[in-house]
Amino acid sequence: MPSETMSDKAVPRSQVPTAADVDGVPDEDPHLANFTAARILSDTIRSTLGPKGLDKLLVSSDGKLIVTNDGASILDRMEIDHPAARMLVEVAEEQDARAGDGTTTAVVIAGELLRTATDLLEKGFHPTTIIKGYHAATEQALQILTEQITDSAFDDSTLRALARTAVNGKWDEDGRAFLARRAVEVARFAEDDGVVDFERITRKAITGGSYYDTEVIDGLVINTDTSSTEVVSPGPNLPRTFDDATVALVDSELTIETASGQGTVTIDSPAQRADFDSFEKSIYRDHARRIVDSGADVVFCQKAIDKPIRYLLAGEGVLAVERTRRDELQKLQRVTGASAVPDTDRLTPADTGTADRIERRTIGDTDLAVVSNESETTHTSLLLRGGTERVVEETKRVLDDCFYVLKLALRDEAIVPGGGAAETAVAHGLRQHARHIPDRKQIVVEAYADAIEVVPQTLATTGGYDPVDTLLALRTAHHDGDTTTGIDLDTGDPTDMLAAGVVEPFAVKRRILTSATEAANLLIRVDDVVPAATDEAEEEDHDHGPGELVAQDEGYPWAIGHSMGH
C-alpha cells in the first residue's frame, strides 16, 4: 500500500510526531520533520507525472483495487496521518476542486519548494525571509506565465490538443486522439458563450467493449439495469421506443405503506386473507391508475416499485423504471420539464413532462433508456467503454480532468505550452528578475526557480531520459529565446510544444503555482505541531469515489466535486 512508507517511517499513526520520529532528521529542527513528511508524500506521487508516468496500484482496506496515475485519486485514497503531509493532500484537493487538473504537478512543486527551503534553512535563512521570497517569486512567476499565453486561435483543433494533453497516459496516440475528439464534442455541446455547463453532461462508465466503442449520445442516458436502477416491467408488449413520450417522476417507493409499528398483519381466516389481498390489490391498482391517468408513458421512480404494480403498468403499456438515482431524477426534471412528485396521489397531468423520444437500448450487457428532446438539445451523454470496470473508471477519471481543462480554456481563451516549457520559461524569467533583487531574497527567488524546474526534470525521468541533460538543453533553448520549448517524451529532445500540440490552460498553471506556494509557505511558517481538540464538524470523509461532475454551491461553479462518491 502506498501509504505504508508514510506510516512506518515518517508518520507514526495516532500520535503527534516530533522531529525525532523522522529518520535521519536532527531533533533540533521541527521544520525539517514536517518537510520530510510532506516531501515523502510528494516523492510518492512524483513518478506518476506526465504521459510516461507510472500507475499506482491502490489497495483499499476492503480489498478493492484501483489502478490510477491520477495524483488526486491517489492522495485521496492514501491513509495519511502526518499533519504536514496532510497539508499537501489539501493542496491536491484544492487544485482538483478549482482546476480539475494539475494535481500531481502542484504537489510535486510544493514538495520541491520544501526541499529548497530545507537547504535555505540550513544555510541560516530565516523562515520569514523564505516565505517573503517565495511570495515575491510567485507574483513574478505569474507575471511571466501570463507572457507565455499563446495566441492560438480557439478552434476545435486547439481544444483537441488541450484534451490530448490532459488525457495523457494509458493510451496510444490514436486512443488519445479518439478520446480527445469525444471530449471536445461533448464540451462544445454543453458550451454557451464560453461557459461549459457540466449539468448538461452525463458520463457513464459501461464495462465491455474497447474504448473505441465510447460514444456520445444526444440526450440523457439513464441506466435501467444496474443494481441501482432497473426496468421492472419491460414486458414483451412494451415498445423499445416511445415517441412523444409523456414522463412522470415519482420520488418515493411504489408500495403498500405500513405505518411504523404496524408492520405485521395477523391473518386468522381465509376470509381475512381474501380481504387483505383485495386491500393490497386496490392499493396497487390505485398507484397504477394514478400513473396511467396522468397520461404517462414512462415513469421513473426514485425507489423500488412493487412487482404487482410493474405488471399492472406494463399491461397499460407504461414503462416503469425503478431506483433512478436522485441526481438523475433532477436531470430528468430539467430535460423533460416534469416535476417529481412525492407520491402517486399527488401526480397530476401538470406534473408530467415530455420527451421527443425515449429509447431503450442495450449496450454491452447494460440496459439503458435514452431520453432525448431534439427541440431543446439540452443534454448530452458520454458512454465510456472499456474491457474491465477498472479501465472504464480510470477512463472516466481522466476524461473528467479533460472536461475541466476544456471548460477553463473556453472560459479564459488562454493556454500555455506544456511539456515543461512553461515552467522552464518561468524559471528563466525568475532568474533574470532575481539579479535585480539587492538583498537575500535574491537567493530565495533563485531557489524558487530551481524548484519549478522539477516539472521538466520529472517528465524527463519518467520518460527514461537524463533529467540534468534535459534541463540544460531546455535552459539553453529558452536562453536563446525559444520560449515554447519543452521535452518531447518520445525522443527526449527539446521541441516546440505548440507545434507538438502539448498545451494546457493558463488557469491550471496559475493555480498550480499559487496553491503550491501557499502550502509550502504555510509549512515553513509552522515551527511545531501541537495536538488540538478535534472539531467533529470539520472531520471530513476523504475516501472519495470516482467523482461526478457536480457544481459546487459557492465560489467556483465549475469546481469538481467528489460528492457522489462510491
Residues carrying an active site annotation:
70, 103-104, 401
Q: Which option in Mg ion, ligand ADP, none does residue 113 bind, with CB closer than 5 to 8 A by kind?
A: none
235 by DSSP, 3-state: which?
Answer: coil
Dihedral of CA 190/194/198/200: which sign?
negative
Rounded to an integer, what distance in angstroms lies between the CA atom of residue 228 and that of residue 230?
Answer: 7
Check residue 234 for interaction with ligand ADP (CB under 6 A): no
Give the nearer residue to Mg ion in terms of CB position, either 6 or 502.
502
Count Cα neighbours of 9 within 13 Å in the Cβ-side half-sphere. Answer: 17
User: Nearest approach, Cβ of 262 to ligand ADP (angstroms)?
Assistant: 56
Stretch binding ligand ADP (CB under 6 A), from 100-108, 222-230, 242-250, 376-384: 100-108
Give the nearer residue to Mg ion in terms of CB position, either 104 or 483.
104
Give the nearer residue to ligand ADP in terms of CB position, either 408 or 502.
502
Give the nearer residue to ligand ADP in terms of CB position, either 213 or 488.
488
Which residue ranges make up the site for Mg ion (CB under 5 A)? 101
Q: Are 182 and 363 in contact (CB under 8 A)?
A: no
Check residue 100 for interaction with ligand ADP (CB under 6 A): no
Cα–Cα distances (Å) from 279 to 275, 314, 390, in that order, read 6, 21, 48
Give the nearer residue to ligand ADP in terms of CB position, either 51 or 546.
51
Q: DSSP letters of 275-295?
A: HHHHHHHHHHHHHHHHHHHTT
Rounded to an integer, what distance in angstroms lies between the CA atom of residue 407 and that of residue 194?
Answer: 8
What is the pairing mode between strands 380-386 and 201-207? Answer: parallel
Q: Which of 75, 455, 498, 560 is close enough to bind ligand ADP by CB under 6 A? A: 455
Check residue 165 for interaction with ligand ADP (CB under 6 A): yes
Q: Which option in Mg ion, ligand ADP, none does residue 505 bind, with CB closer than 5 to 8 A by kind?
A: none
Give the nearer residue to Mg ion in terms of CB position, either 70 or 446.
70
In terms of C-beta density within 10 A (0-12 exposed, 13-18 middle, 19 or more buried), how is residue 192 classed? Answer: exposed
Stretch binding ligand ADP (CB under 6 A), from 99-107, 230-238, 324-332, 433-441: 99-107
Cα–Cα distances (Å) from 311 to 211, 305, 362, in that order, read 37, 10, 22
Count Cα neighbours of 140 within 13 Å in the Cβ-side half-sphere. Answer: 27
Q: Which of 162, 184, 205, 502 is close enough to bind ligand ADP by CB under 6 A? A: 502
Stretch binding ligand ADP (CB under 6 A), from 45-53, 206-214, 265-273, 430-438: 45-53
Q: DSSP letters of 125-160?
A: --HHHHHHHHHHHHHHHHHHHHHT------SHHHHH
Q: DSSP letters of 505-551?
A: EHHHHHHHHHHHHHHHHHHHH----------GGG-------SPB---
Q: Which of 34, 168, 372, 380 is close enough to bind ligand ADP by CB under 6 A? A: 168
Rounded to an integer, what distance in angstroms lies between the CA atom of residue 405 and that of residue 460?
Answer: 23
> From residue 399 to residue 418, what is the string marking binding to ligand ADP with x (rule CB under 6 A)?
-------------------x
Residue nearest to ligand ADP (CB): 418
Give the nearer residue to Mg ion in terms of CB position, either 101 or 297.
101
H/E element, 122: helix 103-122
User: Nearest approach, Cβ of 437 to ligand ADP (angstroms)?
Assistant: 28
Q: Are 524 and 131 in contact (CB under 8 A)?
A: yes
Q: Which of 17, 50, 234, 505 is close enough to bind ligand ADP by CB under 6 A? A: 50
- Specify which residues 357 forms β-bridges with: 243, 372
479 by DSSP, 3-state: which?
Answer: helix
Give the nearer residue to ligand ADP in terms of CB position, either 97 or 312.
97
Q: Which of 2, 100, 102, 133 is close enough to bind ligand ADP by CB under 6 A? A: 102
User: Nearest approach, Cβ of 509 to Mg ion (angstroms)?
Assistant: 11
The string over 360-390, giving b where at least 16 C-beta atoms fall within 10 Å of a residue's C-beta and e elsewhere, is: beebeebbbbbbbbeeeebbbbbbbbbeeeb
Q: Which of 110, 298, 489, 549 is close enough to bind ligand ADP by CB under 6 A? A: 489
Q: Kindly identify the residues of this chain, within the stretch 418-447, that bind ligand ADP according to CB under 6 A.
A: 418-419
Check residue 504 for interaction with ligand ADP (CB under 6 A): yes
Q: Which option in Mg ion, ligand ADP, none does residue 112 bind, with CB closer than 5 to 8 A by kind?
A: none
397530476: which residue's cell? 348
Q: Which of 114, 363, 459, 471 is close enough to bind ligand ADP by CB under 6 A? A: 459
Write out the residues near ligand ADP by the rule CB under 6 A.
48-51, 53, 71, 101-105, 165, 168, 418-419, 455, 459, 487, 489, 502, 504
